[in-house]
A and B are shown apart, each in its own frame.
Chain A
Amino acid sequence: MSRFLSPRVDYTLREALSNLWRNRLMTIAAILTVAVSLSLVGSAMLVKQAVANATVQWDHGVNAIIWLDPSITPAVRESIHQQLLAMPEDIASCYYNGHKADYAEARIVLRSEPAAFQALTPATTPPSYRCRLRNAVDAYAVASHFAKQAGVKNVTYPGQAIKTMRRTTTVLQDVLLVVAIVLMLSAAVLILNTIRLAIFSRRHEVSVMKLVGATNWFIRIPFMLEGFLEGLAGAACAAGIVLWLQKVFDSVVAKPTASGQPSALWVSTGQLVTTEIVIVIVAVVLSSIGSGLAVRRFLST
């Protein structure tokens, strides 16, 4: 190694790695805590994303969807719109989702039914009115009022399953996040402590370094690198766990369901990548806090 790296880089790496090895029990504890806390953060994000995907139709408090005929004429659509506007005591608000928007949404909702999605084109995808009712129990009445009208294909409203799912995941997420935050704090403290131990076991070296004119950063960087390596190792474990969780979602939970039911839990590649990136960023932040505090506190002047 020393042959290829500049003495400074070589020195920094060598110091950091040997410090990690010297306090390996503490190192492992720190890495595991980072891994567990970040896995929790990652899982919370995955569940949130999966549920959001599965129930995307019901975003923004929508609790009734009036699906229109794909071939509806503008005149008929306008008359339905007027009727919606004429029911302000039942319907709080409504917005129109065109062919293209609904087609894009179908791509997400029908993810576990690729055949059903393939049968659709933007032109054959029904557009819809998304409504927020003043009172969710009116959904049935609204549905029966519109269902038989010309130009209306059918009316759907979220079943109990979806409502429960949304509520449970919100609670689950909050719990996971609280636990994760506590664990993340412990992780930062553990990282801080491994660095403190490393500084302590090298205090003679550090005092000699100061005496012979090593810059503060030269002294600090190997210790900080140690913290970063712990954080990154933890993040790598967490990233692996999240990847595995996503596979579980795909293979176990993601069974095809009949239309109208909450669709299977899944997350897109983009969402998975985002989750992994968040994990790495949080690890970097955690270990910066831990190592920054440690060198500031234990290596001052």
Chain B
Amino acid sequence: MTMTIDPQATELMKNAGITPRSELVAAIEADVNKIYYGDFLAVRDSHIAIEKGKITGFIGPSGCGKSTVLRSLNRMNDLIPIFRLEGSVTFLGQDIYAPNIDPVLVRRNIGMVFQQPNPFSMSIFENVAFGLRLNRYKGNVADKVEQSLRRAGLWEEVKDKLKQNGLSLSGGQQQRLCIARAIATDPTVLLMDEPCSALDPIATRVVEELMLELKEDYTVAIVTHNMQQAQRVADTTAFFSVDISKGGRTGFLVETGPTKELFSNPKQELTRNYLAGEFS
């Protein structure tokens, strides 16, 4: 889905006061002042841009709010009644927390892969076709399912048992099925929360290669605990940490930058200490 917008259209859009998509660098721009769960301040002062056509990695110690921030990028946190966000998240220029925005449509454009594999209790084929049917896909569903399974590195393993229940697969296969399901609908942005934590090294490599391939067309944000993985796949890395000074355990963004730079020459003391700890 590479956007090739012809110059004339771009000109027209500009005159109409619309910023053409191709000129926006960030697919998602999150300006988080505060995120609360009830009274608990989970994350504060984090400004993050998920750049188009790139992979942005979120790293940091457990409990620093990586998942929380990631899940607020497609309004998954709406499911948690005590969740409250102060700030804004814009997706291609629109504030997704604005009152006139339909969160269902937000999630159809910003897909998600969860830390725990969560296929539906239906056939492997129907799992992948699920989003296509939901979006009333006009093309050939079977072709799209095969293509998605291939990209997720699962096709060879399941091509003879597409009718079997998705839950009958192994944990790692289930996770790749979930990835296939998420990419089948061609979401503009794909959010992945530790997608490889259930995978063996070979499957992890497959998924990493998939991500690198995906970023040609999509935008990816990935939470990972694996520093090597962040270095292998992420163009930009955001490092979060926990602030325990004021009694609470509030997460915040320490620094963000091009991955190579962040790992080789971190600007912040906190980052340096964390990386030193991770690699020692």
Do A and B originate from a single complex? Answer: no
Residues of B within 8 A of A (CB): none
